[in-house]
């Protein structure tokens, strides 16, 4: 397995990561949680250390399965959990919600489901047009300072939104169509 170090974080990530969105059904059709769990355990056994999940995937089921697989493998110190915040299931649909009260609850729910006390890479899943982007960035910055997360990421942001976000809190990662890209590699033209 090849590994890379996420700039400025010290996180050592397998070059190949495993995403969990399709493991829980939802938009992908039926899924078998036992098969998903077995897949996660096999990925751990093969040396994959980067796992991407989100509360919106299966209404938290993907985080629960990942948390259980990591606990059962006894490998929390060797894996990096990347999860997201800012989406909420409401009346059988997913809506953007980056209100500070929801983000705080979303974090606690993820920590509980993942059976951990720290999220390695915590990402804003989608920017919320109803909440000030700077407040969202400040919240994530506080989580980083408090040690509740090790790195900040953004997902589905425009270059303009990324620039506004990083005026308040520096992020280490951008997710584009499920692919992690180092911010410095992808956007060298953005000013620090």
pTM (two decimals): 0.87
What is the percent of the chain where pLDDT is above 70?
Answer: 88
Confidence of residue 185 (pLDDT cuts 50, 70, 90): very low
Identify whether the C-beta of residue 2 lies closer than 8 Å to the C-beta of residue 48.
Answer: no
Task: Give the residue from 139, 133, 131 showing the smallest Cα distance to 103.
Answer: 139
Confidence of residue 184 (pLDDT cuts 50, 70, 90): very low
Specify the higher pLDDT residue, 5 or 142.
142
Distance CA 65, CA 42 (A): 13
Instruction: Give the per-residue pLDDT at 27.
Output: 66
Distance CA 182, CA 180 (A): 7
**Catalytic residue (one of 24, 54, 55, 57):** 57
Distance CA 181, CA 173 (A): 6
Phi/psi region, residue 64 (left: phi>0; alpha: psi -120 to 50; beta: rest), is: alpha
Residue 44 has pLDDT above 80, yes or no: yes
Residue 173 has pLDDT above 90, yes or no: no
Mean pLDDT confidence for 183-191: 36
Confidence of residue 28 (pLDDT cuts 50, 70, 90): low
pLDDT digits (tens, 9 = 90+) for 125-144: 999 999 999 999 999 999 99
Name the strand (E) or helix (H) holding 35: helix 33-45
Specify the higher pLDDT residue, 145 or 25.
145
pLDDT digits (tens, 9 = 90+) for 80-95: 999 999 999 888 889 9
One-letter-per-residue 3-state SS of 82-122: EEEECEEEECCEEEECCCHHHHHHHHHHHHHHHCCCCEEEE
Specify the higher pLDDT residue, 27 or 43.
43
Q: Residue with structure tokens 């590994």?
A: 3
Is 122 annotated in the active site?
no
Lowest mean pLDDT of 44-53, 89-98, 170-179, name the range: 170-179
Label the pairing between strands 173-176 and 80-85: unpaired
Mean pLDDT confidence for 139-150: 96
Strand partners, 152: 122
Long-range CB contacts (within 8 A, 24+) of 183-189: 183/7, 184/7, 187/159, 187/162
What the block records as the tokens of 73 is: 């493998």
Specify the higher pLDDT residue, 10 or 148.
148
DSSP 8-class letter at 46: T
Label the pairing between strands 80-85 and 119-124: parallel
């Amino acid at each position: 397995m090849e590994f890379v170090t996420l700039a400025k974080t010290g996180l050592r990530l397998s070059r190949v990561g495993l995403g969990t969105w399709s493991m829980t059904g939802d938009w992908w059709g039926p899924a078998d949680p036992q098969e998903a769990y077995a897949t996660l355990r096999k990925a751990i056994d093969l040396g994959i250390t980067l796992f991407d999940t989100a509360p919106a995937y299966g209404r938290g089921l993907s985080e629960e399965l990942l948390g259980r697989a990591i606990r059962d493998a006894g490998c929390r110190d060797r894996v990096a959990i990347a999860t997201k915040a800012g989406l909420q299931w409401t009346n059988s649909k997913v809506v953007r919600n980056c209100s500070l009260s929801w983000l705080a609850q979303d974090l606690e729910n993820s920590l509980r489901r993942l059976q951990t006390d720290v999220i390695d890479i915590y990402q804003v899943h989608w920017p919320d047009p109803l909440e000030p982007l700077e407040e969202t960035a400040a919240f994530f910055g506080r989580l980083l300072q408090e040690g509740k997360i090790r790195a900040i990421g953004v997902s589905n942001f425009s270059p303009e939104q990324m620039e506004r976000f990083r005026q308040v809190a520096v992020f280490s990662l951008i997710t584009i169509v499920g692919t992690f890209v180092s911010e410095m590699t992808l956007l060298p033209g953005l000013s620090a």
